[in-house]
Structure 1
Amino acid sequence: MDRHAPLRGHRAAGQLAALTVALTMTLAGCTGSPSSPGTAATPNATGSPNTGSGNGSQASPAALELIEKLDAGLQLPWSVDFLPDGTALVSERDSANVVAIKDGKATVLGKVSGVVPGGEGGLLGLALSPSFAEDRRLYAYFTSAYDNRIAKIQLTEGATGVLGLGAPEVIFQGIPKASTHNGGRIRFGPDGMLYVGTGDSQRREQPQDKGALGGKILRLTPEGRPAPGNPFGDNPVYSYGHRNVQGLAWDSAGRLWASEFGPDVDDELNLITPGGNYGWPQVTGAPGRDCLIDAKVVWPSTAESSPSGLEIVGGVAFTGALRGQRLWAVPLIGETAGPPVAYFTGEYGRLRDVARAPNGELWVLSNNQNPDFALILRIKG
């Protein structure tokens, strides 16, 4: 039944591999508890706009112009992507609905069948096919009764131009689920491959086991197979040692960045290297261990961040903060990052996703439990 049962079926072998990796890291001096940020960028003292400090090579992002606070009647929105005509498609985590928003009006396109919400699970990431004009496919990451999985869904269009959802076709499954740490972000990269952020699903042996799907960034073909050129051969794993990845975005040079939840310290923004080990659960942050890859940005206090969706525009990485209830803007220069700057702190609650619309605007989703406070912030690009 499970296309990727071999990855999960060799549980004993996977645990042995994880133990071997842990022992190897111990011998190499790569173990440790959550660490201080080392050379990574951290928020400036005030966290306010236009007060960046640090290594002096990056300028603070310019002030953001809020165009509209759009109340579209959404319930726990989780992800947003855009049709070529600018229509926004939004996932609702618990209802499993895909909602279309055009000219400020929301229309439910349909419910994704097979979604079993619970805790942090439900209908999570959406990604439009890069060949949408030809295949009219929408991809969705969702929690089922057994696991987290990815499906492709045909967008239908009636004679009157009304959009609808076809039946989901599961293309990848077996990603472990739990009440928390389900990951859930999916995005197509510049190479046309589908990148997937997964969580460790509270199974701490998974992130260091390259034969397991939890605690990883995966790279798949549009049909759900391990993408050609992956670092570990015919294996969907692209990078490992992650705790809970919920943001993926590429800069103008095609480099992949990812936002990641820490435990009670050290939320992270990482620059992703194919085959790279990002340390969880041995370390967090930027401890400077030779065999691990340090985060480029560390938020020592998770009360300030818990970063989810990520978008990069004009050399600035924008990530929505859940517990931190603010929008972080991180200036990027090449492979380095400057100190994060905060916007809208405490004004709109938990900020779940950030995405760029075809017209250049940034859309930021707030996904508060109170439906009257589940807003879309439209920000001038």
Structure 2
Amino acid sequence: MTATATRVLVLNSGSSSVKYQLLDMRDGARLAVGLVERIGEETSRLAHTPLATGGDKRETEGPIADHEAALKAVAAELSADGLGLDSPELAAIGHRVVHGGLKFTEPTVIDDAVLQEIERLVPVAPLHNPANLTGIRTARALRPDLPQVAVFDTAFHTTMPEYAARYAIDVETADAHRIRRYGFHGTSHAYVSRKTAELLGKDPSEVNVIVLHLGNGASASAVAGGRCVDTSMGLTPLEGLVMGTRSGDIDPAVTFHLKRVAGMSEDDVDVLLNKKSGLVGLCGDNDMREIRRRIDEGDERARLAFDIYIHRLKKYIGAYTAVLGRVDAVAFTAGVGENAAPVRAAALAGLEEMGLAVDADLNAVRSGEPRLISPEDARVAAAVVPTDEELEIAQQTYALVSA
């Protein structure tokens, strides 16, 4: 890597989409951002914003056959702004990989052996790892000479002790099929827990934080001194909090009951719990803004969905307070956590005996900066900390290749 190579391209490859950001690691500035969606359809769409030149967002529509075509289209957009993949200033490409199992506990330079191991984990991440692999292989073909780094969603949670990570099932069966709690959203939890410590003016090693990543997917983590000791998602991202379309925690026997009584297949139950449950299953909407609007109009179904969502949040806040023993801060992040003041207020309401409270005026402020929303005399800080998973991936990638 040359001394002038300070840029990192971050790729997040989904089954039919590619999100990307190009960052300059001298200051973390975004040079370009974009999204390719509906890959493989006639109505594929590419949206690209060249932030480095201050240009307007460019959108194109038309068929993009596969991920190779998508990345070539991204490369062409970047080249048009003088930011091409052939630039000597590009130090590496960082890839979000959802599942790293127990083997990948930190960012890893990708080679053939790493690819094989990510592929071996497909059975425990069938919706995500295949798409991540496609993006990696395509990017390697475009720039085989460039370091490519995998940053794993599960890595931050590999510090969980065995008693938090294991399910109480037969050990031999669990080990044979890699059944355990892995956790997800790890890059967000790592970034937000560290930024929360900075907000408190302390080193991460001195701070215990409960991080609430509340988006369409939602997860909680208990972070002690910068290390995850528990998290709400498990073998898959289905476990834990109520989410936009996922049920979160549920009695496992519900699946057997639905197969026996309703005649549902395994695939039917999978679709029900992952895509037709959570908020959308409870009230037909998974947009918290719409749910709040409906509540304001007296919609009881929306109110019940919101109450169930908040009840689950409170349970995890209480549980993780017990796990940590001492809590210095509760940090809200992601789309709902950062923008839905009523969610934050409701989640902490009634927890004053635990040292938690919300200042209504501070909570009502909208800002893209980390901020406290608790009263000055609160024993436990309540914070809103915007997440930045792409920056976290870029920082981990650059630190590895420049070491």
TM value normalised by structure 2? 0.27
Structure ranking higher in helix proportion:
2
Structure ranking higher in strand proportion:
1
Tell me which of the two structures has the higher relative contact order, counting C-alpha pairs closer than 8 angstroms and 6 or more residues apart: 1
TM value normalised by structure 1? 0.28
- Which structure has the bigger radius of gyration? 2
